Copies of this chain bind each other. A is one copy, B any other.
Amino acid sequence: MAISLQGMIERAARCNPNGECLRYQESSRSWLQVKNRIASLAGALKRLKLNESDRVAILSLNCSNYYEAMFAIPWAGCCAVPLNTRWVLAENEYAMKDADVRAVFFDDAFTEQVRLMQASLQNLCSAIYIGDKECPEWALSMEELIAEHKAIPASDRGGDDMAGIFYTGGTTGFPKGVMQSHRAIWASAMSALPEFRLQRESRYLHAAPMFHMADLAGSMSTTLTCSTHVIVQSFDPAKVLKLIQSERITHTLIVPAMIKMLLNHPDACNTDVSSLEMILYGASPMPAATLQQCMDMWPNVGLVQAYGQTELAPIATLLPMADHVKGGDLLRSAGRPSSISDIRCVREDGSDCDLGEAGEVIVRGPQTMIGYWNKPDQTEKALRDGWVYTGDAGYFSETGHLYIVDRVKDMVVTGGENVFTTEVENAVMSHNAVQDVAVIGIPSEQWGEAVHAIVILKPEATVSEEEIISHCRDRIAGYKLPKSITFRTEPLPLSGAGKVLKTELRKIYWQGQERQVN
């Protein structure tokens, strides 16, 4: 019996029909209700003439309907394309066009974006409104679709079949669509369970955005255990603290920047976190000081780290609760390979590194991506003989713990989001006054790393930092914008092969600090 996302819902509804599945704002839905809504919504998708494996996007802040849309799509045999809510129109339009999306689910935050895209994208036939206000005239209402359509049997797609396309920043300056199978998403969630320790009575808070592969892993684990999903529309530290207490949250997944905001919030000390058993964190470097602060303030909350990437659906290693010891050396580690991950650190010639010797981290397992959508050349580079080449450099210790020391791919991780510097450089370069630019990550208390641009202007040109940033604003998402710019007149330092030596450029910013890159 092939594993499938829709099968996970069928199973959960059978195991725990009357248990609370979704809790959002004042509303609550049982597993059986959610399954029935999904099956009817899938019936509606079929009537919209969507064919097997057609792509259907979701562009929405977190809500109950997001979860249902995410499963109605595979229930109907289609592929989900969850879009980045922080991207600007141009970026999401690029992804929608690239994936040849036929229908899109959206909420109030994206009414304007979707209206514009419907005009520009010929193949985008249907827009389905999942918000809780008034449905725009030009869109279909999810509630009406559910009410008007009968439940259909779940599609028998599954296993190695593509379940979704997940867009990430691209090394070449364009977003890449990571194709993930039903099996990969399921296997990654299975591998998290022994450390994440969800039980049926657990209450998982979707604090991170639901489009993100990291939250998807937490979401799928919660689905495997038929536990309760509690959803907050977007991350707000005060709201999240309040929900942890009022909803008796037991588990959540957050990125380090979010943990910091929670711990530093004035309400943190007065919040009752006694229900909280486990925080799974990952997706960006976690400063040791933040970990210590968390263990000091919330000594009874277990911490588990996950390291991976979208191409691994997304988990490769886990650092279990027991390894989170105050002042312990392991806190710098990304953990050990999860039970499904075979991991090597390899030299440029492909041979295995010795213990302690850093090389590119490559990962093999049932969670590896099918490839990049429509990008055979990049797939060939990133996926060789079943191994995903992560672009990160790391080494194994004697105890089998992986330590990440650098990123082979030129990337800044800021607040849990990957920013490929080429994308930012392209945006900056499109300004008339700019002659050359290099973008690097510099240390940031709040974001782990901040995007910084070093700009060389054309002779006699003058332009301010603000002007360049504002010029980029229509081209790339807010989190990709340079947070700061320095101007220089001498040429950028180049390697023998003519590549900009970013290690040189980074040096002065990182003096006396270790750049944490796991």
Contacts and interface: CB of A to CB of B under 8 A. Distances in A.
A294 to B, nearest CB: 23
Contacts of A7: 342
Contacts of A226: 400
A104 interface: no
A14 B344 contact: yes
A15 B200 contact: no
A322 B342 CA distance: 32
Given A1-B386, A14-B344, A200 B400 contact: yes
A176 interface: no
Contact of A194 (B1, B3, B197, B337): B197
A226 B365 CA distance: 16
Given A193-B194, A194-B193, A1 B339 contact: no
Given A7-B342, A14-B344, A194-B197, 6 more contacts: A2-B366, A15-B343, A190-B190, A194-B194, A199-B320, A199-B322
Contacts of A252: none
Interface string A348-384: 0000000000000000111010000000000000000
A16 interface: yes
Contacts of A366: 1-3
17 contacts: A1-B364, A1-B366, A1-B368, A1-B386, A10-B342, A11-B341, A11-B342, A14-B343, A15-B336, A19-B400, A190-B191, A190-B339, A193-B193, A193-B339, A199-B320, A200-B336, A200-B400
Q: Give the interface centre of A3, A14, A199, A368 by most chain B CB atoms within 10 Å.
A: A14
Contacts of A344: 14
Q: For the side of the interface on A, what is the size category?
A: 35 or more
A19 B336 CA distance: 14
Contact of A365 (B1, B194, B320): B1
A197 B343 CA distance: 22
Contacts of A3: 340, 366
A77 to B, nearest CB: 17
Contacts of A342: 7, 10-11, 14-15
A225 interface: yes
A205 interface: no
Interface in A153-205: 190-191, 193-194, 197, 199-200
Top 3 A-B pairs, shortest CB-CB distance? A11-B342, A1-B386, A224-B339
A340 B342 CA distance: 22
